[in-house]
Every structure is written in structure tokens, then in C-alpha cells.
A and B are shown apart, each in its own frame.
Chain A
Amino acid sequence: MRPDPVAEAFARSEEWICDECGVELETAEVTLTYLGASFPAKIPRCPRCGMVFIPSSVALGKMLQVEQGLEDK
């Protein structure tokens, strides 16, 4: 049940940099929550300002799947 978008996200995160800080993204552990449930997840983010990266393949794939699972709980 744990979302693990890290593999997919990483594949594309290398193409991006934080525009504000001008640095590469690094993987960080964050907490995703929906409808009162929380999951730890590894997500690429800017090590300085914290801007995260979630590509469409993750938002419309794994995340959507987990959201719908939680909605039917």
C-alpha cells in the first residue's frame, strides 16, 4: 500500500533543477497524507528551499491509485 514513486520520479528528476536556488534535486523522505492516513515516501526535492518534484506519471499513477484505495476505505 505504500506509495513508492521514487523510481519513476527519479528517472525524470535529473532533468530538473530548482529555479530559485539553481541546484540539483536530491531525494528526501517526506510524509504524504490523504483522508487522515499518512505514508512516508521518498521524493526528489531541492535541498535548499524544499521545492518538491512530482511528475504526472506519479500523480496520475501510483498516487491516484492510493488515493482511490483510501477513498474506498
Chain B
Amino acid sequence: MDNRRMRELEEMCIQEDPPFCQAACPLGMDGRGLCSDLAAGTVDKARAKVEEGLPLPLLLCRICDEPCRTACPKGRSGDAISMALLERYSLENGKAPRKRPSFLSPRTDRIALVGSGLAAMAALESLRAKRYLPQVYIPDGDLAAQLREDKRLPRDLLDETLERLLEGLNVVTESPSLEELSEFGGVVIADESPLRYPGPTDDVTFATEVTGLFSLPLPSGSPSTEARRGLEAVLSLERHLQGASLESGRTKKTDRNTRLKAPEDDTPSKATVPRGETYSSEEATAEAARCLLCQCLICHPWCLYLQEYGGSPRKYIRTYHNNLIINKGNRTANRMIDSCTLCGLCAEVCPTGLDVGQASLESRRKMVETGHMPPSHHDYPLRDMASALEETDFLLDPTGGSPEWLFFPGCQLGASEPRWVSESYRYLTDRLESVALWVSCCGAPARWGGREALYMDVMDLWIERWEGLGRPKVVTACSTCHGLLKERLPEGTAVTLWETMDKLGLPEEGDVSAETVTVSDPCTARDDRTAQEAVRNLLRRRGLALEEHPRSGRTTECCGFGGLVFSANPDLAKRSATRRVQEAGHPMVVSCAMCRELYSRTGHPTWHILELLLSPEGKAPSPKPFPGWSARRENRKRLKADMTSGTVPKEPSESLVMDEKLRQNLDDRWIIEEEILKVIEEAQSGGPRLRRKDSDVYLAYSVLSERTLWVEYSPEGDRWRIHDSYSHRMTIQEVTR
């Protein structure tokens, strides 16, 4: 993932865009932060925010015209947040932030400020904060002139403010001549007097044709705008004095906007009206608590992964990128990058369509490319893929090379239940002219693991073989295969088994049972309306009452198999599956073999649709539990043997005995019985082994490609009792001494 691409994706996330109030406030006041502080009762922090955000805060909070209110979505159906009152409450009730004493002496630049009113006062306050000592010209004699007419501003507050602002300055209560002004290194004119610069001024910087002379336009009548103008003029003056660019980075600031979308599900409420002139503590808290704390994070409630590591997808993508470019130190985000299911749900719900999975997948590819993909993360699924491609791949082609149809159920359906493949195949051959069966893998694990070159190899071979068969139409039974094949096959070549059955008729007639089931769509079929409909039709036709999962269709979730998360972050995958089944009101029906496995592993009764479609009229079979990885491997072998009428090999499980707890541990450790048997057979035929003293318990190991697998076992009749098995990836190199 290059820098530009990373920025593009990061930019798509609007989570860090300002809330509506802040975007509308000419001063950019963090109204959301203020509300969240006040709602939490941290008034001191709130006060600090107001003092930091606003010039002349005590004045402004009394007279602000509050453009923030027009923008606040609370105002759509109720009252907007009373921001100015909250500001005032914070200023009057929070502890004054500790002022750092300044040990620097005032600046010596000769500058002048001309005018009166809020803009002039804000400019002066800002100049003083920056240690300038301007010469002040007040043509109408009173710096606060116009403000005195406003009854909301107490006279003594104005006087105190003026005293503070003007203290120690040289004040002249008349207009300067232009000649006089030309002697200053910089001048700000904030005044309605004739002195206001007559020529054109820049809207943003207030620069005039005279270098160093900045002149504000006629007063706007909006106190917040006036205050902002005063600050902007000072910023220009300062840049001018420093010889810096006046414009740089400022255009954006003036039209501070937000791409946030107003939340839909807001309950309207009335503003809290102060009983006195200002808010009491209860009133302020109540008012602040009405704030929606506008931000995006629309994706968060949908996806456990996006909650898992905290912060917005914007932060996620930044973290990915930092992890990729790290030179020294630890790549601590490797597992984070590998924990996204790549299911595309975020892109469905995100207002800008940002697909975090895209960033994750591209990061994985980069990790693989640079040799930084942790080998253990995808070890099991890649081994499983290799086995599906090499050991249990088979083609059954009664037509001898030119079938009209090719049934490609994928690698997982037969692993879950061989019968689902053989009986679906029989169903198809009964109804279609010439159908071949090819059981293999589409390469999805390689793609998900970021091994794009490997994926392309698998897929290219697939296409080659399909062409060798005369380009038959393809019937799929796995939505992942289906999606990947559709990327490569001509339009209309691949159809799902579900559409096909919906068209050709049910494999078994009659009601299967009267129970209500929750339909759960696989994430890789979220765009496949046709398949989703067909699944529902088929189930209804077998007499089932259907309930929709609250997240279904376009916004369905992943079971945890997607993106190989079940392997890279098993715990997160389990929690996501658990959350999903908890939201299902009934036993679930799925149309993906891996959904079946991962949901049933949570203990929730889950049927594969074929389990229901293939069972005869009457009561539905009770949903089977998760068979475990070993049994799934054996199922595949059995399917191949059955269908190609080869000799059925003795299954490892027939030779091994172990208790259920250990069996589950082995599943979690990605150890399958086939491998255990290999280690035992090697040890029994003379390989090295240890023996527990005074017993017939043995401990042996074998190096199986990347792993060293240990097995503790003892004979039990003509079988082996397994006491433990575990593996490590470090190799024992040589004996040093």
C-alpha cells in the first residue's frame, strides 16, 4: 500500500471531521467537547476549553449570535444546544486554569491598532497574548463604544476588560493620519471610521494593497464573526512581521466544513431554560447531556473488529500504514491487520463507502511481499487449502471431457458433510443433461491471506481446467467460490445451487418441520440478491417459517471465516460469531458450509440449508455440532474415496482414543489426527521416543514442514490413547556442546 493510496482511504473516513456546531462556529469552538465535559461534570476542563477557544470569552458568551445553533441537528425537531449559556456556565463555575507566568519580555515591533468594537478588542487581546505592545488609536474615544449599548453586557465587566486590554499601552483617542501609520511595521484597522482602508481587501487575510496594512470590512453585526475577524487580522500581521506566507493553510480554515451526517435516530427535546440568568449546575448538566456528541463511527456498532482496537477506521488505516513502514522495533499491528474479516460490511454502512477490508487486504499483501507476514497467522488455512488442492481434489466427468454443466461445490461443503456433495450431485445429474463434479478449492484462503500470487496460480489453473472441459456452465454451492469465480468467468456462467434448485424443483417434497428458523446470509453473498431470495424460497417451500436476522441481506455479517480471522485471531472470531447467534431469535439456517461450522461451534443450533432440503418429509434432523478440524479433513478424504470408488483408507480417528477436552484443545492448536498418527507411526517404526519411567507412555515428535509436532501416547488395545499433543515452530538446530 503506497502513501497515496493510504491517504486516500484514510481521507474517506470522516470520523475526525468537526461536529456541526464546531464547523459553524466562526471561532471553531469545540462545542461537542464542552458538552461532553459538562455532562461528565468536569467543569474545570470545560472552562479551559472555552478560554482556549474564544477571545474575550466573558463578553462573547453573553452576546454571541450562536451560528452553532443553526447547524446543530438537535434543532431540527426540537431545540439546538444552548451553547453560549453552557460557555458562560463553564466560565463562571470552572476553576481558572493556572496561568503560566511569562518570563519573556515584550516584542519591540512597532505596530498599531486602529478602531473600536469587538473585532478591535479581540485583536488587541490576541496581540497582547503574543506580547506585542501596539500603539492604539481609538477614533471615537471608547474602545467598547458600540458594545455599551448592549444591555446584556454589564458596565463593570466592560470597564474591567478595557482596563486589562489597554494597560500600559500608548492610547490616542483620535484618528491617525495615513502618514503617521506608514511609520509602523504593521497596522490593523478594525473600525467603521473613514479611516477604514478604501481599496480592496482580501477576504481571508484582510491584506490591503499597502504591505503590512490589514483592514477589516464593515462590521458584520455578528459578534462571533467580529471576534474571528480580529483574530485573523492579528494572524496576518504576525505572519507579515515574520516574513511568512499570509495565505498558506488558511483558505481551508475559513470554510471549515464537515462531512458528518446528522444522526437519524434522535429523540427531540426542549432546551433547558435557566431559572435565573444563568444555568445552575443541574441545568447545565441536563442541557449538556442533550448533546448528541456528533461524530461518525456509524460503522462501530456493526463490527466487533472495528471496536476491538479502539478509535476510528481512520486511525486503523494510519496504524496499518505505520506498521508497514516500520524499520526498527516491533510490528505490533500485525495481528490487528489480520483480524479483519474483509467482509465489506463497513463499506455498506459507511456514509462515504470506506472499506476497511480493502486497506487490510492491501496491507497483508505488502506484509507478504516484504516477508513480514507472521507465518503462524494463516498456517492452518493454508495447509488446509494445500490438502484440498492436492490430496482431495477430484473430478468426476461422465461425459469424458465435454460436460454441459460443472458442479463445483468448493472444498468446505464435503468437509462438513460428504453427503451434501454427493446427494446434490445426484440431484443435478437427475435433472440436467450432462453434469461433471469437481471438488477442489478456489484459492480464497490464499487471497485472504494476502498471498495474491499464490491465489492467482490456483485460479489460473482453475480456469485452465474449466476451459479444458469445454467451458461448461458452473453450479456453485459456496458463496466465496461463487464471488471469486464470477470475477473470472463470463457473465451468467456461474449460478448458485440455490437458484438452480429453486428453478429445477426441490430435491425432497413436503414440509420438513414446522419450526421457525432465522435465515443468515453469508457475507460473501451480501450483493447476491438472487441467491438470497432463492434460499428463502426453498426454505419456505419446505414449510419453514422464516425470521430475518437483524443484520441480513446487504448488511449481513461474517461468521469469522472470512479473511481467515478464525485462524489469525480465533478469540475475536468466536466472539463475533457468538454476538451474531445471540441476535438470532431461532435456530439458524445458513447457505455456507463455514458459516454452519463457526456458528454451530458457539453451541447455537445451526443448519446448513442442504441439511433441511435433503431430509425427507417429517421432522428436521437436529442440527449437528461442529465436527472439528480433524473430522472435516477425514470427511473430505471419505468423499473422494466414495465418489471415485477408490479404496476407503482407514481413518485416523479409528486408531486414536482421546477425551473430548483434549480433542477440543487440539482443534484450538490446529493439530489434526492425521498428523498425530504420522508421529506415532514414525516413533513406532523405530524413530526416537521417550518413555515415562515404569509405564508404557511414550513421547515422540516429528518435524512436519514448518512445525515440530509432539505426541504423548500409549497403546490401548489395538489403538493409541493420546494424552497430549502440541507443536512449536522453533527448530532445534544443533547441539552446541
Contact = CB atoms under 8 A, between A and B. Distances in A.
Q: Which of the listed residues B335, B692, B726 has the most CB atoms from chain A within 10 Å of its own CB?
A: B726
Contact of A32 (B334, B698, B726, B730): B730
A72 B332 contact: yes
A33 B335 CA distance: 22
Interface in A14-50: 15-20, 25, 28-35, 38, 40, 43, 45-46, 49-50
A16 B693 CA distance: 6
18 contacts: A15-B692, A16-B692, A17-B693, A18-B691, A20-B689, A30-B733, A30-B734, A30-B736, A32-B730, A46-B690, A53-B699, A54-B701, A54-B728, A63-B730, A66-B730, A67-B730, A68-B374, A72-B335
B375 interface: yes
B550 interface: no
B330 A19 contact: no
Contacts of B688: 18-20, 46, 49-51
A46 B688 CA distance: 10
Contacts of B698: 19
A56 B735 contact: no
Q: Which of the listed residues A43, A51, A71, A73 has the most CB atoms from chain B within 10 Å of its own CB?
A: A71
A71 B699 CA distance: 28
A51 B732 CA distance: 11
A64 interface: yes
A6 interface: no
A22 B312 CA distance: 61
Contact of A72 (B374, B708, B726, B729): B374
A15 B694 CA distance: 9
Given A16-B699, A18-B690, A19-B698, A29 B726 contact: no
A60 interface: yes
Given A29-B736, A54-B710, A16 B731 contact: no
Given A46-B690, A51-B688, 10 more contacts: A30-B735, A31-B732, A35-B375, A38-B733, A40-B736, A54-B701, A64-B728, A67-B376, A67-B728, A68-B374
B376 A31 contact: no
Nearest to A39: B730
Interface string B375-389: 111000000000000
B727 interface: yes
B238 interface: no
A56 B710 contact: yes
B330 A73 contact: yes
Given A19-B698, A29-B737, A34 B731 contact: yes
B631 to A, nearest CB: 23
Given A16-B691, A51-B688, A28 B710 contact: no
Q: Which of the listed residues B334, B335, B736 has the most CB atoms from chain A within 10 Å of its own CB?
A: B736
B724 interface: yes
Given A29-B735, A72-B334, A17 B730 contact: no
A28 B331 contact: no
Q: Which of the listed residues B693, B727, B735 has the most CB atoms from chain A within 10 Å of its own CB?
A: B735
A10 B735 CA distance: 17
A71 B375 contact: yes
Interface of A: 3, 15-20, 25, 28-35, 38, 40, 43, 45-46, 49-54, 56, 59-60, 63-64, 66-69, 71-73
Contacts of B376: 67-68, 71
Interface string B694-737: 00001101000000101000000000000010111111111111
A67 B729 contact: yes
A51 B689 contact: yes
B187 to A, nearest CB: 59
Given A19-B690, A73-B330, A59 B728 contact: yes
A52 B732 CA distance: 9
A27 B698 CA distance: 20
Contacts of B690: 16-19, 25, 46, 51, 53
A33 B731 CA distance: 5
Nearest to B709: A59
A32 B731 CA distance: 6
B156 to A, nearest CB: 64
A32 B692 contact: no
A49 B735 CA distance: 12
A59 B692 contact: no
Contacts of B693: 15-17
Nearest to A14: B693
A51 B688 CA distance: 6
B11 to A, nearest CB: 28
Interface in B655-692: 669, 688-692
Nearest to A13: B690
A55 to B, nearest CB: 8
Contacts of A32: 730-733
Q: Which of the listed residues A18, A35, A43, A54 has the most CB atoms from chain B within 10 Å of its own CB?
A: A54
Q: Which of the listed residues B332, B729, B736 has the most CB atoms from chain A within 10 Å of its own CB?
A: B729
A62 to B, nearest CB: 10
Contacts of A45: 735
Nearest to A34: B730
Interface in B540-586: none
